[in-house]
Structure 1
């Protein structure tokens, strides 16, 4: 995190590698909520034959309409790649965030359970309080520090309560070559300045959106034939790193001569508190679905190539 903006970013070739590794061939009849977000964009590259619903077609502010869209399309599987992600703004719009991140996924999951089709919901490490230095296990106590985290936690509970063949996939520091994101910010500022001050006491695993997309599709395929694998899972990039360390790797790979000066989170106050410890234990996902943590450094290489920086 630079003392100006929190980053999001990821790769495409990384998804292809992950996809080949799990032997995926796409899910005919896949319905995806979301069209322009990071994971949704990668899902379009991964499975262009899937049906993607924009906000105009299915507004998550109307959970009942989202459920009806699922029943109308009668898909073989559903992935929710849409969400309210404005972490700081959510502090003043918690009710709206909770409808979009909480009530809508619950309604989607209930509709999927009624049709007997798999449903995958993307969640976040922000459901934890970020204390300590040990990676968070799936069953650890949850205690969100901010409104965004609370809204995602409501969604998790609603998805579980609906039953059916579901998966809640918690991830962290989503990255990609799309939209406004940490990598683009670093590339721009790194070319303009000799030194940047960046938060160094928040530790987590940058996670390529491309790999999240591949994991989600693989999970829907598996849940279709093995619904007993329903549950909550963690998925994040490796190795764990600070925002400052992430920036240094960006500059190193892009060949940008910009020094990074470490600062604590306390030197960069934001409306929403951020967890210091975003490390996730992903062992259960590997055991159950055979999906291991992607190397975000390799993903960064893919992103830089996609952006024409290497």
Structure 2
């Protein structure tokens, strides 16, 4: 088993332990944490607890990550664009329209189905459904993802995400004319109380920071670069809507009248991190897909 620990910080006081552990381990689901607690893999100050335990400042949480179950995912011969690979990490360019891991309604055709076909070694920290998956991008967002090939790499990459040292830069096309060149959106994100299928900027949400820079202006749209400081669910989509510039094509957060594109115009262009074993800084970049570039050409002609 892999062991880890965490000391409860002042801002975590009063939070349920399963919530704290999912914040410490961004890619572990709350239900997975509750299973660990049920199976006595989690202690607080050396004592077993229940999943509704509310943390106190200074508590020492210790947990053991069970050995992964044998994978029960159908390997599928889906082409993968592998940007980089060694014995520890893999960087892939995920196409638009591909779901990262199996879930309700998406049992096949996912990035994980492709990974288990092409890659023999993947970390098992996230169990049988999400082997190797350290972070996610939405189905209709294209671009770079890092994948862990062993548990050492997985823990390192997750800690880098937690410490905000991973570089993640996106290109997006948004509605409206952003008049200033640069900006930072610092607004907490959580479940939308009016629609549990959406995220929103809410009081009591998790800290979320997005930096943006205008790349090009069109008549009624703006091409921007967005750099994530944190990595909340739908962060760029929620933040850009919050400041009045929703992503073009976004069916969940954008206006009904938008560009004729399948899903949000968002591409994960740059990914940088410290190699888990060599500690060398690694940075990768991929151009937006053809449909994204076609939108930019069309908007240029119209302006």
TM-score normalized by the length of structure 2: 0.26
Hey, which of these two has a bigger chunk of strand by percent? 2
Structure with larger RCO (C-alpha < 8 A, sep 6+): 1
Higher CA-based Rg: 2
Tell me which protein shows more helix as a share of its residues: 1
